[in-house]
Amino acid sequence: MIDVFRSLIPALFFVQTCPIRVRAFVARTDPKGTLVDLADRDRRLTRAEALVPDLAARGVVAVATSFVDNAGISRVKAVPLDRLPALAAWGVGFSTAFDYFRFDDWVAAPPGGQAPVGDQRIVPDLDRLVVLAAQPGWAWAPGDRFAQTGDPYALDSRLLLGRLVDDLASRNINVLSAIEIEWVVSTDPEEYVPGAVGPAYGLTRLTNASDYSRDVLTALAEQGVAVEQFHPEYAAGQLELSVAPESPVHSADTSVLVRATIRAVGVRHGLRTSFSPKVDAAGVGNGGHVHLSLGRDERNLMAGGSGTFGLTDEATAFAGGILEHLPALLAVGAPSVASYLRLVPQHWAGAYACWGLENREAALRMVTGSRGSEDWAANLEVKCFDLHANPYLMLAGLLAAGTAGLDAGTSLPEPVDVDPASLDEEALAGRGIRRLPTSLRESTDAFMADGVLGAAFGEPLVGAITAVRESELELFDGTSAEDVAAASRWAH
Q: Which CATH number fits domain 165-488: 3.30.590.10, 3.40.449.10, 3.40.50.1980, 3.30.500.10?
A: 3.30.590.10
Q: Which residues contact 59 (CB under 8 A, 6 or more apart)?
A: 136, 137
Under CATH, which architecture does the 38-154 domain have? Roll (3.10)
Contact between 129 and 51 under an 8 Å Cβ cutoff? The reply is: yes
The neighbour count for residue 299, using CB atoms within 10 Å, is: 15
**In angstroms, how far is the first alpha carbon of the chain from the final one?**
20
Residue 290's Cα: distance from chain center in Å? 8
Kindly write down the DSSP assignment for every residue of 202-255, as one continuous string. -HHHHHHTHHHHHHHHHHHHHTT--EEEEEE-SSTTEEEEEE--B-HHHHHHHH
Q: Which residues contact 11 (CB under 8 A, 6 or more apart)?
A: none
pLDDT at 21: 33
Residue type, 75: R
The neighbour count for residue 436, using CB atoms within 10 Å, is: 22
Report helix angle 391-408 to 313-333, nearest 10: 140
pLDDT at 283: 84
pLDDT at 34: 64
Please tell me the pTM assigned to this model: 0.92
The neighbour count for residue 267, using CB atoms within 10 Å, is: 12
pLDDT at 30: 41
Mean pLDDT by 10 residues, the chain (492 residues): 34 28 34 69 95 98 98 98 96 93 90 76 97 98 94 96 97 97 95 93 94 98 96 92 97 98 97 96 91 95 95 97 98 98 90 94 92 87 97 98 98 94 92 95 98 97 97 97 95 88
Going from N- to C-terminal start, the domains of the chain cover 38-154, 165-488
Residue positions counted in the chain: 492
Report CA torsion sign: 296, 302, 303, 305.
positive
